């Protein structure tokens, strides 16, 4: 087939957009938008990397206002616009697929990706046009500081974030309504049984029964392990959405009052208490949501790749429950440099409980590796490659975070490039995204009805560029952090040029990797297919791989 | 083992984490290679599940115990309310400016110095840096709360002050050069968790 034919109709005309049902289309819509936002975040990252060496580069032109506005938009676009959309899309497809039930509402699923897209766009516009730049942490009372920021910018930004959170709540409702629907395989299950399974309690009870010599609590848990991980992670997503919404409402009250000429006293809100509240919620994204969703994704991918049962499944279920307690109690590691924070909170929550993440994530890594190992020999498929890449990412990033969550190290690493480079960027770009790419390759034949991938060479080039670029960028940023480079600071005198040039080269590899991936996908589905994904589906089915239940003869009559 | 100052700690950390990174990448690469082989792989070492778990617990908890005992400023920080400082400096931050004591800040090696910093508006950071930009120490400065840090210097030098927390675009200029001079008459080593 010719290049032009593939570009227009997809590789070998194998992608038939009209054959997709409503669930497949809504999944693909969110995936497409998620990868577009990823590209925007990568571009923003490259602008900042370059400005760290040449501050006068357009569009920054040496302006701290513009630089920090980009830095404010960057995580919103990357985390919510891209990662949230991708994860939500995958899970809104997987929960019906794994539970063999229809998605509760395709309309709501469509509303979710529209709301998150709209909210992300608004937050980005607020930063781009009005240079609203309180940064992702929104430390009180900075977001309400109208001497530095325009009120309209603040209101637009906060409204954008609030819309993202409303979309997030829509996702949560859809997931829980699907899991708790008493249809198909869950027709005879009670809410209590589903809840016990969802929280991993049955896995814990199975372990206790085994230790005490009793027969298993249950041989067939109500929910499969990946669904348990999705259920568990979604609890944290819910709490996180509530915290961010509440912080947004507080900021809005001050901004709207200011717009009406009323100057409310910012000191009536305790800055440290606010910081604790905000980090408690925000940390649920990083230490609850990401780790739990990722662990669940590893388990799912390992079982799908090997076709075998997960190794130590009861331990995995129990570990997900343990992570529930851990993820709610670790936020204080963000406040180790706050001298007014009670020392006991720093020691227990900030250091000791946080260290448990080494255990919970280490367990997930171990279980995944052993499941793969027991199924040897395996073919080194794209999904397996990416899964191994994801394991490397978290193998590097989790200890990097634990190192900083220490009263000694934190004193010289807090707010440096170490945390954002060696920990956050390696966790998200290498750990999380490579896991998500593995899921994309596993889901590709299911969601596209076996469309052909245009080029394996491009897929491999994407893999290596992304892996080396991601680890390299994180490593050089981390080293700059060890030498004192701050994470939220613009340098004008070339203080860290060597590290920043090396990090920039690795960042360029990441951007090139994304271009190759996007090009490969467009060539696989074709421009017609790409447009068709966003057109209404003729087939309104909201499930995949489920045979319709036979209607009893008595009802037919 | 003990670390006299942050330079020594960070240098050790750089080597240790690089070695760990190379190790974990190699392990996964070796693992991936052997996943595709039909023949049984020869394990370099066999690690049981319980040994692995014990290692994770030891690594997580041990890291804190290790640093507590060898990094001098940890115990000093925890007991700072019970310690009488040799010198105290009161600093205010307002409108993105540090308002420093009138007298020049000059300290001797081994003296316990208390920096008590108050913010009148936003959240700032109080960070001392060497001339090569590496960090000596820092703390967050929240409005409405007490922000004090006790520090014992044991290296000669002239240090700069920077805000280490983002306080809006205006905060980027919060830099005061040569804010503190430390003079050492003899080389002093920190031992046993901070005793000079």
Q: Is the CB of residue A267 less than 8 Å away from at least one CB of chain B? A: yes
The pLDDT assigned to A420 comes to 96
Say if the Cβ atoms of A356 and B60 lie within 8 Å: yes
In A119-189, the DSSP E strands lie at none
Q: What confidence tens digit (pLDDT) does each residue in A16-41 have?
A: 999 999 999 999 999 999 999 999 99
Q: Provide φ and ψ at B161, rounded to 5°.
A: -115, 135
A70 falls in which pLDDT band (50, 70, 90)? very high
Say if the Cβ atoms of B31 and A373 lie within 8 Å: yes
The pLDDT assigned to A232 comes to 85
Pick from B20, B52, B162: CB nearest A366: B52
Q: What confidence tens digit (pLDDT) does each residue in A254-298 have?
A: 999 999 999 999 999 999 999 999 999 988 877 666 778 888 899
Any idea which of A248-257, A427-436, A516-525, B185-194 has the lowest mean pLDDT?
B185-194
Give the chain B residue nearest A468 (alpha carbons): B25
Pick from B36, B67, B137: CB nearest A406: B67
Say if the Cβ atoms of B56 and A471 lie within 8 Å: no
pTM score, two decimals? 0.93
Residue B33 to residues A2, A468, B48, B156, Cα–Cα distance (Å): 36, 18, 21, 52
Q: Is the CB of residue A495 less than 8 Å away from at least one CB of chain B? A: yes
The pLDDT assigned to A250 comes to 96
Cα B122 to Cα A271: distance, rounded to the nearest angstrom: 9
A323 close to A360: Cβ distance less than 8 angstroms:
yes
Cα A405 to Cα B74: distance, rounded to the nearest angstrom: 13
The pLDDT assigned to A218 comes to 84
Say if the Cβ atoms of B135 and A416 lie within 8 Å: yes
If we measure between CA atoms, which residue out of A399, A227, A186, A380 comes closest to residue A313? A227
Q: What confidence tens digit (pLDDT) does each residue in A455-484 have?
A: 999 999 999 999 999 999 999 999 999 999
Q: Which residues contact A305 (CB under 8 A, 6 or more apart)?
A: A372, A375, A378, A381, A383, A384, A387, A442
Buried b (16+ CB within 10 A) or exposed e, B90-119: ebebeebebebeeeebebbbeebbbbbbbb
Cα A402 to Cα B59: distance, rounded to the nearest angstrom: 10
Say if the Cβ atoms of A369 and B31 lie within 8 Å: yes
Average pLDDT, chain A: 93
If we measure between CA atoms, which residue out of A503, A376, A394 comes closest to residue A438? A394
Rounded to the nearest angstrom, the minimum Cα separation between B96 and chain A is 11
Q: Provide φ and ψ at A488, rounded to 5°.
A: -120, 60
If we measure between CA atoms, which residue out of A395, A403, A397 comes closest to residue A369? A395
DSSP conformation class of A331: G
Is the model's pLDDT at A6 over the cut of 60? yes
Mean pLDDT throughout A161-175?
96
Q: Is the CB of residue A261 less than 8 Å away from at least one CB of chain B? A: no
Tokens of B21: 């990174």
Give the chain A residue nearest B76 (alpha carbons): A408
A210 falls in which pLDDT band (50, 70, 90)? confident
Structure-token match 């967050």, residue found: B140
The packing angle between helices A85-99 and A151-179, to 10°, is 10
The pLDDT assigned to A546 comes to 77
- For chain B, residues with pLDDT lower than 70 are 40-45, 186-196
Pick from A142, A339, A409: CB nearest B139: A339
Chain centroid offset of residue A224 CA? 21
State ipTM. Answer: 0.92
Would the CA dihedral through A140, A145, A151, A153 be positive or negative? negative
The pLDDT assigned to B193 comes to 42
The pLDDT assigned to B191 comes to 45
Pick from A68, A133, A145: CB nearest B122: A145
Say if the Cβ atoms of A412 and B31 lie within 8 Å: no
Rg (CA), chain A: 24
Mean pLDDT throughout A117-140?
96
Mean pLDDT throughout A393-404?
95
Query: A408, A485, A489: best mutation site toward chain B, by most B Cβ within 10 Å?
Result: A408
Q: What confidence tens digit (pLDDT) does each residue in A529-552 have?
A: 999 999 999 999 999 887 666 555
The pLDDT assigned to B186 comes to 62
Is the model's pLDDT at A524 over the cut of 90? yes
């Amino acid at each position: 087939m010719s290049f032009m034919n593939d570009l227009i109709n997809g590789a070998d005309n194998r992608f038939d957009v009209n054959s997709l049902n409503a669930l497949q289309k809504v999944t693909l819509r969110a995936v497409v938008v998620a990868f577009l936002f990823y590209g925007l975040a990568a571009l923003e990252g490259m602008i900042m990397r370059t400005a760290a060496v040449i501050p006068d580069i357009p569009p920054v032109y040496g302006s701290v206002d513009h630089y920090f506005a980009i830095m404010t938009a960057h995580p919103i676009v990357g985390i919510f616009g891209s990662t949230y959309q991708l994860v939500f899309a995958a899970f809104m497809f997987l929960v019906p697929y794994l539970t063999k039930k229809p998605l509760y509402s395709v309309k709501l699923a469509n509303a979710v990706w529209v709301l998150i897209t709209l909210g992300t766009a608004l937050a980005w516009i607020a930063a781009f046009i009005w240079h609203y730049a309180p940064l992702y942490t929104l430390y009180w009372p900075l977001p309400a500081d109208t001497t530095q920021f325009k009120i309209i910018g603040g209101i637009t930004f906060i409204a954008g974030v609030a819309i993202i959170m409303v979309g997030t709540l829509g996702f949560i409702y859809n997931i829980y309504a699907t899991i708790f629907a008493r249809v198909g395989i869950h027709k005879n299950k009670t809410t209590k049984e589903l809840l016990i399974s969802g929280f991993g309690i049955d896995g814990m009870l199975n372990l206790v029964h085994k230790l005490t010599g009793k027969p298993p609590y249950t041989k067939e848990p109500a929910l499969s392990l990946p669904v348990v991980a999705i259920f568990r992670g979604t609890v944290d997503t819910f709490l996180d959405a509530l915290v961010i919404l509440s912080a947004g409402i507080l900021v809005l009250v001050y901004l709207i009052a200011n717009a009406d000429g009323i100057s409310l006293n910012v000191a009536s809100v305790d800055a440290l208490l606010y910081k604790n509240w905000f980090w408690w919620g925000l940390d649920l994204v990083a230490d609850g949501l990401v780790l739990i969703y990722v662990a669940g994704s590893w388990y799912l991918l390992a079982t799908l790749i090997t076709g075998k049962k997960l190794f130590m499944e009861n331990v995995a279920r129990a570990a997900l429950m343990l992570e529930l307690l851990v993820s709610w109690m670790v936020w204080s590691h963000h406040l180790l440099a706050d001298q007014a924070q009670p020392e006991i909170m720093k020691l227990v929550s900030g250091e000791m409980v946080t260290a448990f993440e080494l255990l919970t994530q280490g367990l997930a890594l171990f279980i995944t590796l052993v499941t793969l190992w027991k199924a040897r020999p395996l073919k080194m498929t794209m999904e397996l490659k990416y899964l191994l890449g994801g394991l490397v990412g978290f193998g590097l990033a989790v200890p990097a975070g634990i190192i900083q969550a220490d009263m000694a190290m934190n004193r010289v690493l807090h707010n440096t490039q170490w945390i954002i480079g060696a920990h956050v960027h390696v966790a998200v770009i290498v750990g999380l995204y490579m896991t998500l790419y593995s899921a994309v390759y596993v889901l590709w034949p299911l969601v596209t009805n076996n469309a052909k991938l245009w080029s394996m060479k491009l897929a491999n080039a994407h893999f290596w560029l992304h892996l080396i670029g991601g680890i390299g960028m994180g490593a050089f940023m981390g080293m700059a952090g060890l030498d004192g480079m701050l994470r939220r600071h613009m340098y004008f005198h070339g203080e860290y040029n060597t590290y920043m040039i090396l990090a920039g080269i690795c960042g360029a590899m990441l951007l090139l990797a994304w271009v190759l991936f996007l090009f490969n996908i467009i060539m696989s589905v074709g421009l017609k297919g790409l447009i068709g994904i966003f057109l209404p589906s003729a087939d309104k089915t909201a499930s995949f791989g489920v045979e319709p239940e036979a209607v009893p003869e008595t009802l037919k009559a | 083992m003990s670390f006299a100052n942050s330079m020594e700690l960070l240098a050790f950390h750089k080597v240790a984490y690089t070695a760990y990174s190379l190790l974990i990448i190699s392990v996964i690469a070796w693992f991936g290679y052997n996943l595709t082989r039909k023949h049984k792989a020869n394990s370099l070492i066999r690690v049981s599940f319980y040994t692995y778990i014990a290692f994770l617990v030891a690594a997580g908890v041990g890291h804190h115990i290790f640093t507590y005992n060898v990094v001098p400023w940890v115990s000093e920080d925890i007991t700072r309310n019970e310690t009488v400082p040799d010198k105290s400096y009161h600093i205010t931050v307002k409108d993105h400016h540090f308002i420093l004591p009138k007298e020049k800040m000059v300290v001797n090696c081994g003296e316990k110095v208390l920096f008590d910093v108050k913010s009148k508006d936003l959240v700032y950071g109080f960070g001392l840096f060497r001339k090569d930009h590496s960090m000596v120490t820092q703390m967050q400065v929240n409005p409405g709360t007490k922000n004090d840090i006790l520090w014992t210097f044991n290296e000669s030098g002239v240090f700069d002050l920077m805000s280490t927390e983002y306080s809006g675009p205006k905060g980027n200029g919060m830099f005061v050069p040569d804010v503190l001079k430390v003079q050492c008459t003899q080389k002093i080593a920190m031992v046993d968790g901070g005793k000079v």
